[in-house]
Structure 1
């Protein structure tokens, strides 16, 4: 899976769109506020990706003008968009680190999200939630005789894992000279022989620890937390604002999102937890589906811990029934 390129980044299709980059402190309902502002400013969201990690959020949103269908180029409108979004991201306690920017540049979305979260130093922040399983194990040692630093990454295998690790090493100005990739069952083992771009290996303990932190963060950013919900419906103005508001009103927090449109259809994926990051109550999920439309919003994937919880409950019921 590490090498898979399914669902490739669609950067080549972003010509004629305006890119909005957002970083700040994550909170329940933040995404609904962002999409509500964009709807109010007559911005149609065509494509977007949202990642959260260690209490931070990064998002790259591609929009066009609702009325003209053209990219947003008016400087005053761009200033309004940036100011409104910055106020939303600041909230009550993120005056300094909330950032917004608008550009016409075409970029590789996922590569850019890694760069945004790296610049935001998400790797240096303590996790808000402590219930994660299968945390990545990263080790860094120097092979003095050959002048390499040897990086080992062990974690659960998934799509684009290799991409995430190599992007981060590259953005940290390391060059990969050799690599070994192996998978056993659902586990991935990656080994990289790296040097700085000037040919030197890692030279200090603080640097070694920073590499470990950054690679752990790179793996965790795309880890699937929460119930996967897929929305497939006819696209319309303020659709995302309405859907994410329904999530917020029912106490669901969006940990990751992938927004796309094909012709007049919206194809959106959301990973949701409850307000404090625990497993969402199935009754809450069903209530949200009833509100949005059972045929439009479907549960596509349950996290492993959720399945284990259900199995434990079923076993407990079974034991109780035999007594």
Structure 2
């Protein structure tokens, strides 16, 4: 079943009529480029999108419309073709079909909240993600412990992690998905670190005190924190919006051996403002020669701003904050001037 969702807000921009698409599957080099190429071929424009990758899985929430009508896509044959092609792409690396999922969303859940739900349901917290992400700095790994409060029959979750925007949001979302209620919490900071303490209890009122359950909570919270962390380089792009823009950009990234770890897609009027957090195909830091080649290839067509994301505590302390949030005002101003 498919419904139009007028007035949906993504970020700070009113999207209007659109079709919402949810995708989840095994991540691989070039996958995002293939997804956007299918949308471009069907003359479907991406108005906004959020893409997260974690532990070799990818989750996307895309908000699209018909390029000719600027309204939601309501042609049954196009939707059927779109669904078939996207499912084929998601299963393109030999996955069992049960490991990939595509749907037309009819809910109005906050996009970040929905990405957490998709990845949690996909069990991205299983396995050793550190071994699959070579660029991950062990000094940034969150320290999570769980104790029991006998007097109040709570489980007490203590989290020490690199501070960043939406850290508490990510943790509380995951506790909620695990059917826990947060009775109260304390939040403080220590330099570049956040110290958070949560008193939790199951929604059914029980206090589960099983070692396996504690280990699962720790793994799930580590995954929740890792999903939004992006290390290495961020590429901020600003250009006149058009069908096929994302297909062209992600194709160039793929041809230059870059993998997208996380992405945010936004439109403001007729301007497209996108951010891509990238690594090389093996997950290692990007060679600056590659970035210079990328700048020469697309820099004359759009504004391109390259930022290095701090990956160790020393750089965090010197900067005072991990600037992973997106600030596009100056970039958009430059593009319009």
TM (norm. structure 1) is: 0.89
1:237 Cα deviation after fit: 1.6
Q: 1:242 aligns with which of 238, 248, 268?
A: 248
For the pair 1:77 / 2:84, whether they are aligned, the reply is: no
Query: Where do 1:19-58 residues align within 5 Å?
Result: 19-58=20-59
- In structure 1, the residue corresponding to 2:169 is in which secondary structure? helix
Counterpart Cα distance in 1 of 2:93 and 2:182: 42
2:138 is aligned with 1:129: no
Structure 1, gaps ≥5 residues long: 1-7, 309-323
CA drift at 1:198: 1.7
Count of aligned positions: 300
SS of the equivalent of 1:13 reads strand
Structure 1 partner of 2:118:
116
- Cα-to-partner distance string for 1:207-227 (whole Å, 9 max, x where unaligned): 111100000000000002220
CA–CA separation in structure 2 for the residues paired with 1:199 and 1:121: 25
- Superposed CA offset, 1:2-51 (max 9, x none): xxxxxx95388344110110000111111100000110111100000000
1:1-323 → structure 2 map (5 Å cutoff)? 9-10=10-11, 13-96=14-97, 97-127=99-129, 128-133=132-137, 134-293=140-299, 296-304=303-311
Whole-Å separation in 2 of the counterparts to 1:12 and 1:240: 19
Deviation at 1:136, TM superposition (A): 1.0
Q: 1:215 to 1:283 in 2, by over 3 A?
A: same
8 Å contact kept, 1:289–1:298: no
Shift of 1:206: 1.2
8 Å contact 2:61–2:111 — kept in the other structure? Answer: yes
Alpha-carbon offset, residue 105 of structure 1 = 3.3
User: 1:94 Cα deviation (Å)?
Assistant: 1.6
- Mapped to 2, the partners of 1:251 and 1:88 lie a distance apart of 19
TM-score by length of 2: 0.85
In structure 2, list runs of 5 or more residues that go unmatched.
Answer: 1-8, 316-337
Aligned alpha-carbon RMSD (Å): 1.7
